[in-house]
Structure 1
Amino acid sequence: MSDRDVVLARVRRALADVPRGEGPHDPPVPRDYRRVHGSRTVEETVELLAENLADYRAVVHRCAPAGLPALIARLLAARGARTVVVPAGLDPRWLSAAGVATRPDRATDTARDLAAVDSVVTGCALAVAETGTLVLDAGPDQGRRRITLVPDHHICVVRVPDQVVGSVPEALPRLAPERPLTWISGPSATSDIELDRVEGVHGPRTLEVVLMAADGEG
């Protein structure tokens, strides 16, 4: 008996109790798992996000919309950034005080081209508090996945509380599965067999997250 025959025989045994003609979507699948874990206020959820982002070694900042341009300018200046890649749909006011050369997200850019860029500034689709995770879906203010994986410094702006959810089960219904989703938990890092941590291997070495409160909030 060949390996193929062995595999097919096991599949047939596994399907022996399935009624003939039944499709993959016919049996009801229970969706009664908990989507919300515990009881938190909106403010507590945002605080949990900030704590978990910091735990993953992201640098967390807070500001109101009016203070965002000055904050981004300060972060880029502290980094010594001279060039910044900008998604096509990013609000131009965010970089109005930066005083740096901006370049658009161009499909013709190679990884080498993007490696020469100092920083990237984006928005996000969602942020998950319990896991300290940012989710990007290549929306207009986020651009292609490539621009957030190659430059060494990423500033990501999260609108709070609108873009903050408590758990992954809460996040999934708000995301389109056909979009290219990138889930980011802290700066890129890996460890070798000796558990020596190395950052910047698969993406930005430095991740700065700006929690931008709605107008009138802190």
Structure 2
Amino acid sequence: MSSRERILGRVRRALADVERDEVPYAQAVPRDYLREHGTGGARETVELLAENLADYRALVHRCTADELASVIAGLLAGHGSKSVAVPPGLDATWLAATGITRVADRADGTAQELDGVDSVVTACAVAIAETGTIVLDGSPDQGRRRLTLVPDHHICVVRVPEQVVSSVPQGLERLDPARPLTWISGPSATSDIELDRVEGVHGPRTLEVVLVGARPGGEVTSSRPEGSR
């Protein structure tokens, strides 16, 4: 008897007492859970996203579309970056105000080459307010997954309010499960059994999120979590 026949035999025995007309599991389990918590509007949802991003130790900045290029240039300069990785479909105007070396996302590029790049700038697919999560799906303005996992500094641009949703179920509705999805909640970090936090283990040590949208007054504001660099 092959392994396949042995496994299928176990499945048949386990299902021997199941009636043929029994309600399938997918229908038997109630799915009437809340799709989101609260009834806040677009402004409240964006504020919740900013709050939860900062709680995860991401650095949050806000600006208008006209200010974006200068904000990104300032963040790269503030980090001391000499080079920046660029996805193939990134809006060229986003980096118009900086003159640092740009490294293209090449199919034949190596992880070692990316490890020598100081920063990466990308867009995102969607941002989830309730969990403070940014989701990338490998689109041209985001690049391949390794582009945002190897460099130590990631600047991610989120268009508000159109790319911001309240909950995970709402976010999933906008995503294609066949695409390479990367879910980011703050900078990469891990803790040992004594809860000593170490950042930059599985990805960027520093995550900066720029919320871009119409904002009265035109003043750029930043939210830094307590104890951040």
Q: Same fold (TM over 0.5)?
A: yes
Give the Cα separation in 2 of the matches to 1:141 and 1:48. Answer: 25
> Contact 1:161–1:214 (CA<8 Å) still a contact in 2?
no
> SS where residue 187 of structure 1 aligns?
coil
Shift of 1:16: 2.9
> How many matched pairs?
215
Q: Give unpaired runs (5+ residues) of structure 1.
A: none
Indicate the larger mover: 187-196 or 24-33: 24-33
| Corresponding position of 1:134 | 134
Superposed CA RMSD = 2.7
C-alpha separation in 2, matches of 1:15 and 1:213 = 59
Separation (CA, whole Å) in 1 of partners of 2:28 and 2:172: 20
The question of 1:169 aligning with 2:169 is answered: yes
Q: 3-state DSSP class of the match of 1:186? A: coil
Give deviations 1:87-145, integer Å, cap 9, x for gaps: 01100000000111112111111111100000000000000000000000001110000
Correspondence for 1:113: 113
Which residue of structure 1 lines up, in the alignment, with residue 184 of structure 2? 184
Contact preservation (8 Å) 2:54, 2:60 = yes
Residues 88 and 143, structure 1, Cα contact 8 Å, conserved in 2? yes
- Contact 2:63–2:215, Cα closer than 8 Å, also in 1: no
* Length-normalised TM-score, structure 2: 0.86
Say if 1:217 and 1:129 are closer, same or farther in 2 by CA, change over 3 A.
farther
* 3-state SS in 2 of match to 1:61: strand
- The CA distance in 1 between the partners of 2:26 and 2:204, in whole Å, is 44
Q: Helix, strand or coil: the match of 1:208? A: strand
Structure 2's unaligned 5+ residue stretches are: 219-229
1:40 to 2:50 alignment: no
Q: What SS does structure 2 have at the residue aligned with 1:154?
A: strand
CA–CA separation in structure 2 for the residues paired with 1:86 and 1:174: 24
Aligned-partner residue type, residue 17 of structure 1:
V
- What is the CA distance between 1:8 and its match in structure 2? 5.1
1:158 aligns to what?
Answer: 158
Deviating runs (4+, > 4 A) in structure 1?
A: 3-8, 24-30, 214-218
Q: Which amino acid aligns with 1:178?
A: A
Q: Distance in 1 between matches of 2:37 and 2:217?
A: 25
Residue aligned with 1:68, SS: helix
Give the whole-Å Cα distance in 1 for the aligned partners of 2:204 and 2:26. Answer: 44
Structure 1 counterpart SS, 2:90 = coil
